[in-house]
Structure 1
Amino acid sequence: MSEPTGAARRRGPFQVGDQVQLTDPKGRHYTFTLEAGKSFHTHKGAFPHDELIGAPEGSVVRTTGNVAYLALRPLLPDYVLSMPRGAAVVYPKDAGQILAMADIFPGARVVEAGVGSGSLSSFVLRAIGDQGMLHSYERRADFAEIATQNVERYFGGPHPAWQLTVGDLQDNLSDTDVDRVILDMLAPWECLDAVSKALVPGGILCAYVATTTQLARTVEAIREHGTFNEPSAWETMVRTWHVEGLAVRPDHRMIGHTGFLLTSRRLADGVEPPLRRRRPAKGAYGEDYASANREQASAQSGKADESGGEGTEPPATDV
């Protein structure tokens, strides 16, 4: 049985072509690719790559300036933050939330719109494995080229589960029986028809947006579409801590807002989503929303009267 794609590059002694991450005494990272006969140079001296080739991961090398560097393979979160960029990368904290909250599983069939620099694609490909399918769509050819180079550099070559299409998702999506769809784009609400047709019942739509206006419009569009359940929206912030003896305190810097995430699940065909019971604050919706909801509430109240059911409460409205 062959190893999963990229697994051989994640263990064992360092080999030519491996990515190496050096950590200096101040905790700063330097990443480079091992090449026979070459040297790594810093302002603190240099050392030959050959000194690491064949050495176990976790070795310490010293430069000609007698400065010690710890040598390890970069973790995927380290790699995506240091790799060449076309578009901004999806930060590891958000990628981790997407993998967990969108329930990306081995063998999953996933569609991604907005490949950017290939950060999220790398996380998803490692999660679904060689037996899964990731079909990514990217409008810009230059971003697609950078993403391809970054993904192939990490996995050591093309990944068998990845297909990349240059073009708009809503114009080119032909995949069916898709388990998960991830939208990292400016206007995800424009793709809901195409996404709804592609997703299996129970499949998950996950959108990643940067602003509150994008978040609001996406959530409302999902509610109005009628083929998804009530979406959930959130953001994550990461704060590291300084721990040294009795000096235990939060660090002065943190990874704050990068974007909003929301998820929603595809309903079975022909099923209407249950009416929301939560009452929003007065003024949360304009007159268009108020009129539509009054008509909906009146129609449902009339149906309840015709049925003659005792103790049936009229549905809650949004106004």
Structure 2
Amino acid sequence: MNSHNSSSYTTSVGDLVQLVSPTNKKIFVRLTPGYQIHTHRGVVFHDELIGVPWGSEVHSHTGSSFILLKPTLHDLLIETKRNTQILYPKDIGYILLKLGIGEGQTILEAGTGSGALTTAFAWYVGKSGRVFSYDIRADIQNLARKNLQQLGLEERVTLKTKDIRDGFDENEADALFLDLPNPFDYIEQVAKALKPGGNFGTILPTTNQVQKLLSALNSHHFGFLEVCEILIRYYRPFADKLRPTDRMVAHTGYLVFARPTLAESSSPISIPQSSATDLEEPTPDE
């Protein structure tokens, strides 16, 4: 007998589910007794999806089939409704790792946008964590709020319509990310909001902006500087015809990471240019 709780293998009332059609069209819905989903392939009844094992094939009233899946964060971010350009999942994944986002943390963000990165932060800080997201435009934050509500994450996020030029309301944050065109103008505010040794990140489209940011970070005693870009190439998943797809998601921005230190040295510690994963082997003393 399987020792795992069988309920974890089946859907329940209130679950967010994903229906995937044979053409890979995806429909997201939260299961509610008595409700219906009207699709281009017929009507699907919520009651027929409740208590069903994940991964099952389900059908509409016309007999059209769907695969019932539990959506991943990647699935949800790809389908995020947007009124601004959102960060790509390839970038978000690395941001989460570099900033060390985890359960119970306090995360600050400026530049809410449509809330894709906000959603990722809220997902990973868990119920005991908190995300504070700043933007100067309330209309943009309204869409982010709706996106968070649809995923049931709104309780983990506080949206603030405020210019961070006046500083953040919080301090001792574990991590802070700026999605702004001029992050170099706010490094002093960042330093005051982060706990010593916390994690800072941002994304910029041009090298000129990156250079200006690096100078600002140097002058505010940030160390462990890293600049990178994330490229991803997909392959056609056919055993007898495995080859790259015709297009790839290449440059979408330069990611910059740093950590505030208490060191007084004017020379910051930087990740070697070869990359963080291709460091030279240490040479023994002669």
TM-score if structure 2 supplies the norm length?
Answer: 0.82
For 2:265, the aligned partner's letter is E
Gaps of 5+ in 1: 1-9, 281-319
1:222 paired with 2:223, answer: no
Counterpart CA distance in 1 for 2:60 and 2:148 is 31
Query: Paired residue for 1:273?
Result: 266
Residues 215-247 of structure 1, C-alpha deviations (whole Å, 9 max, x = no match): 232223222x23212521111121121232321
- For 1:185 and 1:11, how far apart are their aligned partners in 2? 40
Number of aligned residue pairs: give it.
266
1:134 matches 2:131: yes
Decide whether aligned partners of structure 1 residues 174 and 106 sit closer, same or farther in structure 2, where only a CA change above 3 A counts: same
Q: Matched residue of 1:57: which SS?
A: coil
Q: Is the 8 A contact 1:226 1:273 kept in 2?
A: no
Partner amino acid for 2:125? Answer: I
Match of residue 50 from structure 2: 53
The 5 A counterparts of 1:154-193 are: 154-155=151-152, 158-159=155-156, 162-193=157-188
Aligned residue for 2:143, secondary structure, equals helix
Pick closer, same or farther for the CA change 1:145–1:268 going to 2, 3 Å: same
Q: For the Cα contact (< 8 Å) 1:227–1:266, is it kept in 2?
A: yes
- Within 5 A, what are the aligned runs for 1:88-127? 88-127=85-124
- Cα distance change, pair 206–48 in 1 and its aligned pair in 2 (3 A): same
Maintained 8 Å contact 1:117/1:143 = yes
Compared with structure 1, are the counterparts of its residues 202 and 164 closer, same or farther at alpha carbon in structure 2 (3 Å cutoff)?
Answer: same
Cα 1:82–1:109 change in 2 (3 A) is same
CA contact (8 A) 2:16 2:31 kept: yes
Comparing 95-104 with 251-260, greater Cα deviation is found at 251-260
RMSD: 2.7
Partner of 1:253: 247
Quick check: which has more Rg, 1 or 2?
A: 1
Q: Tell me what 1:200 maps to.
A: 195
Shift in Å at residue 62 of structure 1? 2.1
1:163 shift after superposition: 2.2
2-structure distance, mates of 1:194, 1:226: 10
* Deviating 4+ runs (over 6 angstroms): 275-278
1:31 partner SS: strand
Any conservation in 2 of the 1:115–1:121 contact (CA below 8 Å)? yes
Deviations 1:71-98 (A, max 9, x none): 1132111112213223222222111101
Check whether the contact 1:46–1:63 (CA below 8 A) recurs between aligned residues.
yes
The aligned counterpart of 1:283 is none
Letter in 2 for 1:273: S
For 2:248, the aligned partner's letter is M
Task: Please report how far the alpha carbon of residue 275 of structure 1 lies from its aligned counterpart in structure 2 after TM superposition.
Answer: 6.8
Letter in 2 for 1:209: L
Secondary structure at the aligned position of 2:223 is classed as coil
- Whole-angstrom distance in 2 between the partners of 1:41 and 1:137: 36
User: In percent, how many aligned pairs have the same letter?
Assistant: 31
In structure 2, do the counterparts of structure 1 residues 240 and 198 end up closer, same or farther at CA, with 3 Å as the change threshold? same
Structure 1 match to 2:282: none
Do the aligned partners of residues 39 and 129 (structure 1) sit closer, same or farther apart at CA in structure 2, a change above 3 Å counting?
Answer: closer
Q: In the alignment, which of 7, 12, 27 is matched to residue 24 of structure 2?
A: 27
Find out whether 1:231 has 2:229 as its counterpart. Answer: no
User: What TM-score do you get using the length of structure 1 for normalisation?
Assistant: 0.74
| 1:209 is aligned to 2:204 | yes
Q: Residues of 2 paired with 1:263 and 1:129: CA distance?
A: 23
Unaligned residue ranges in structure 2 (runs of 5+): 1-6, 274-286
